[in-house]
Amino acid sequence: MRERSTFHGGVAGQIPQVSEGVGGKLNSLLSLAGGRQTRTMIRVLGAMLGMLLIATSPPVQAQSGTGSAGPGQSPPGLFADQNSPQSFAASIPPHAAAPFQSRPILSLPEMFVRQWTPRNQRFAFEEFKMSEDNQSQKLTLKETIFLALKHNPGLASVALDPVASTESVRAANAIFDPQLSSQIDVAKQVTPVSSPFQNPNSVTNTQKFYDWNFGMSKVLSTTNGTLGLTFNNDRELTNSSFSPVNPVYTPTMVMSLSQPLLQNFGWRFATINVRLAESAQRVSQWNYASSLNDFVQRIGNDYWGIVQAQENLKVQQSALEFNNDLVRVNGASVRIGMMAPVNLSEALSAAATARANVQAAVAGVDIAEATLRQDVAFNPARAVLAQPIEPAEHPDTRAEEHETDQAAFERMIDDSPSLAGLRESIVGALIQVRYAENQTLPQLNLGVQFGITSEAGNSKCTATITVPSFANCFDPSGPKVTPGQDNAAELPFNGGYGSALNGLWNFAFYDYAAVLGFSIPLDNAAPQAALSQARISLEQNRLQYQQALYQAALQVKAGLSNLHAYQEQVESTAQATSYAAESLRDVQVQFRVGTATTNQLLQYQSNLVTAQGNEVQSDVGLENARLALWHAEGTLLGHFNINFEIRDPHQSPWYSRF
């Protein structure tokens, strides 16, 4: 394992010292005031300033780029007292829409109360209890990602898109849900009589009707035909003497089928809208996976952004400490006449610049920390600013085996969620073209109907002025006949409602009809235009996929190039830091003997700070390059054990099976 250069405080920023022991270290720093003076004067000055330098110098530590929290360390925080989660389930569960669904019967009273309660529609918005939650958590990158996946409200909102599209599949299947209908009514009609024989005892004709009708219709999922069944019941009561059966019950049962034979008919055409909804739901899942891919990369960039900002702050603080020491040393030298005032001015200018850089670095740390904490959105205290996250990892700068372009492109095609979503969009467009092609066919519809009816009630013996040949009853008010002979007729419908129902199944009274209808617009312009639009949409989807494929390949190629470049930059910047440190040590020696000026010393110190900053940037850039490559390949979720699988949106409610 390659160890990085030794830095002050364990981070790039400390000016490397020459190996001269404690006394030699002090002399190397304090001889900045000397030049050509006697060693006695140098030692006197060293004795005066040595105590101050020792008190302000933190211990030197070595930092290794292992990409971990350190050997044997267990970072405290959310996962300190439990095993760190090994994986995260990010797939949309099958019953994710259940909390948003209403129970058909049990929820009716509550809905009714809400509909008739005089109140304004209100929503309980978030109330914050404090402005900032300062209880930080020290987490690894993987733990931070899992925490963000669980708590980020923006991602949770995107996760509801597949849930909503699942309900679209349910709605598409609802076309096959049987429709039940019923109607109960009563009506009364009073009109003047139209004949003196109609109602001899009254000048009004009174009729009262009772109806109780039921019906059911269903679209067949096999043929796209509509099957209907109606059961109508009528009861009529009148005071007219012209009604031979009064009251009378008339039940009627009718079965019908309306079946398209050209347009809206074909193999699995009845379920074409269901398949379109299922395809759209799969697209929604892939879009959510793409959002997950983007979000994980964003959290990773935020995480390493804090690391870079903190390391940069330490570099700038070390530079400020160096310049402050130089100001003190040069100030003492100027006061005793050993150095020109211009050297002090140069040191003061460099210290002011370093102080400004520290202030900017502090702001950078604050912004980076705020960005991560708000993206993670772990907010148990309900504060405006969520709980801060302290990174527990350092960049892993170990060399890796280079991945070939071919292997990366294969992973991209197999695993990229954005490309998979576009491929599914093409499938949906193909289904839409098939639907549009069907709509260009003529309408040829077959309608068949068969009905049965019956009648029963209180049959009256009805007489006329003559004796009918089919007389079957005797009416005292009818024509005179010999005793024992019938003089009137009675219809054979005597009985109650039950008799009328039983009479249905005798099939004595029935009707049937068959209709074959054909229609087509002369130019058929509207369906042809819709078909052209569907084909254009398909071509657009195909071209969009091709363009996305090119862009994804470009991102993969750029990711590979950046990864290889950063791997080399890590080595180069580490060497640059080492050479800059060695150069500064040489200039320090020259400064002690008076052959180097303050300006030269500051220049070499600035070179070291720049080299250290470049090393920090390359180390963090390597981690971000890994994230970018994994994101382009579509393997980012798998690298962090985030389990995401596309769920089959197919639903088979009982009514969609026939």
Per-residue pLDDT tens digits for 248-279: 999 999 999 999 999 999 989 999 999 999 99
Backbone angles phi, psi at 90, to 5 degrees: -110, 0
What letter represents residue 494's amino acid? N
Name the residue among 375, 402, 379 with its Cα closest to residue 566.
Answer: 402
Is residue 33 pLDDT above 50, yes or no?
no
Distance CA 494, CA 459 (A): 5
What pLDDT is stored for residue 314 in this prediction?
A: 94
By mean pLDDT, which of 164-173, 236-245, 291-300 is the weakest?
A: 236-245
Same domain, 283 and 358: yes
**pLDDT beyond 50 at 492:** yes
pLDDT of residue 84: 61
Phi, psi (degrees; rounded to nearest 5) at 471: -60, 135
Q: What is the pLDDT of residue 120?
A: 66
Question: For the residues 495-510, what does the mean pLDDT come to?
Answer: 92
Distance CA(419)–CA(424), nearest Å, equals 9
Return the SS3 of 557. helix
Question: How remote is the C-alpha of 382 from its chain's centroid?
Answer: 24
pLDDT, position 82: 42
What CATH code is carried by the domain that includes residue 363?
Answer: 1.20.1600.10
pLDDT of 371 reads 95
In this structure, the answer to whether residues 418 and 565 fall within a common structural domain is yes
Whether 126 is in a domain gets the answer: no
Classify the phi-psi angles of 603: left when phi > 0, otherwise alpha if psi is within -120 to 50, otherwise beta: alpha
Greatest mean pLDDT range, 18-22, 78-82, 451-455, 456-460 = 451-455
| Burial 206-221, CB ≥16 within 10 A → b, else e | ebeebeeeeeeebbeb
Residue 219 lies in a domain: yes
Strand bridging mode 130-132 / 383-385: parallel
Per-residue pLDDT band at 27 (split at 50, 70, 90): very low
Task: Single out the residue of 581, 583, 597 nearest to residue 35, CA to CA.
Answer: 597
The band of 54, judged by pLDDT with boundaries at 50, 70 and 90, is very low
Q: Are residues 480 and 537 in the same domain?
A: no
476: in domain: yes
pLDDT at 34: 37
Report residue 25 CA to chain centroid gap: 60
* pLDDT exceeds cutoff 90 at 552: yes
Q: Is the pLDDT of residue 14 over 80?
A: no
Strands 642-643, 88-89: pairing is parallel
Residue among 267, 547, 616, 185 at smallest CA distance from 431: 267
Say yes or no: 189 and 231 in one domain: yes
- Contact call for residues 163 and 413 (beta carbons, < 8 A): no
| Candidate from 196-205, 409-418, 582-591, 627-636 with smallest mean pLDDT | 196-205
Q: How confident is the model at residue 105 (pLDDT cuts 50, 70, 90)?
A: low
Residue 509 amino acid letter: F
Confidence of residue 55 (pLDDT cuts 50, 70, 90): very low
127 domain-assigned? no
384, two tokens:
């405006």
- pLDDT-derived band at 141 (thresholds 50, 70, 90) equals very high
The confidence score (pLDDT) of residue 540 equals 97
Q: Do 489 and 407 have their domain in common?
A: no
Two tokens at 7? Answer: 């830095």
User: Quick one: 625 and 532 in the same domain?
Assistant: yes
Identify the residue with better confidence: 114 or 75. 114
Measured from the Cβ of residue 112, the count of other Cβ atoms closer than 10 Å reads: 10
The answer to whether residue 467 is domain-embedded is yes
Residue 125: predicted pLDDT: 60
The answer to whether residues 459 and 547 belong to one domain is no
Do 284 and 268 lie in one domain? The reply is no
Residue type, 170: R
- pTM, to two decimals: 0.78
Same-domain status, 415 and 450: no
Distance CA 633, CA 522 (A): 53
Range of the domain at 642: 10-65+75-79+274-429+528-656
Give the E-state strand segments of 118-225 in sequence order. 130-132, 137-139, 179-192, 204-219
Contacts of 356 (CB under 8 A, 6+ apart): none
> Is the sign of the CA dihedral 9, 10, 16, 19 positive or negative?
positive
Residue 83: what pLDDT? Answer: 52
* Domain final position from 525, 543, 574: 525
Instruction: Label residue 566 by pLDDT band (50, 70, 90).
Output: very high
* Average model confidence (pLDDT) across the chain: 83
| 637 closest CA partner among 147, 233, 129, 295 | 295
Model pLDDT for residues 57-86, shown as the tens digit of each residue: 333 332 333 344 433 333 444 554 445 668
Q: How many structural domains are present in the chain?
A: 2
The whole-number pLDDT of residue 589 equals 84
pLDDT band at 135 (very low <50, low <70, confident <90, very high): confident
Average pLDDT over residues 350-379: 94
Query: Distance between CA 412 and CA 406 in Å, rounded?
Result: 10
| Residue 627 confidence (pLDDT) | 96
* Tally of CA atoms within 13 A in the half-sphere of 355 that contains its CB: 9
SS3 content of the chain, % helix, strand, coil (to 5): 50, 15, 35
Q: How far is CA 456 from the centre of its chain?
A: 64
Task: Tell me what pLDDT residue 402 has.
Answer: 82
Kindly tell me if the per-residue pLDDT of 38 is higher than 70: no
Query: In this structure, are 407 and 462 located in the same domain?
Result: no
Residue 538 and residue 626 in one domain: yes
Q: What is the pLDDT of residue 22?
A: 29
Last residue of some domain: 477, 503, 525? 525
Q: What is the pLDDT of residues 87-99, one digit of tens each?
A: 888 888 777 777 7
Of 68-82, 371-385, 555-569, 602-616, the poorest mean pLDDT is in 68-82
514 falls within a domain: yes
Query: Which of 47-61, 124-138, 586-600 ranks highest by mean pLDDT?
Result: 586-600
Q: Which residues, other chains included, contact 314 with Cβ-Cβ below 8 Å and sequence gap of 6+?
A: 7, 9, 11, 12, 13
Across 480-496, average pLDDT = 87
* Distance between CA atoms of residues 342 and 570, nearest Å: 38
With 50 as the cut, is the pLDDT of residue 10 above it? no
Structure confidence at residue 236 as a pLDDT band (50, 70, 90): very high
Which among 236, 235, 241 is positioned nearest to 205, based on CA atoms?
241
Q: Which residue, chain included where needed, has tokens 């091709």?
A: 546
Is residue 300 included in any domain, yes or no? Answer: yes
Residues 535 and 627 in one domain: yes
Q: What is the DSSP letter of 333?
A: H
Q: Is pLDDT at 43 greater than 80 in this prediction?
A: no
Q: What pLDDT score was predicted for residue 512?
A: 96
The pLDDT of residue 121: 61
The predicted pLDDT at position 11 comes to 31
- The least confident of 117-126, 160-169, 185-194, 312-321 is 117-126
The verdict on residue 502 lying in a domain is yes
- Residue 161: is its pLDDT beyond 60? yes
Residue where one domain finishes, among candidates 492, 510, 525:
525
At 381, is the pLDDT very low, low, confident or very high (cuts 50, 70, 90)? confident
Q: Which helix (H) or strand (E) holds 342?
A: helix 341-376
E strand map for 239-326 = 245-260
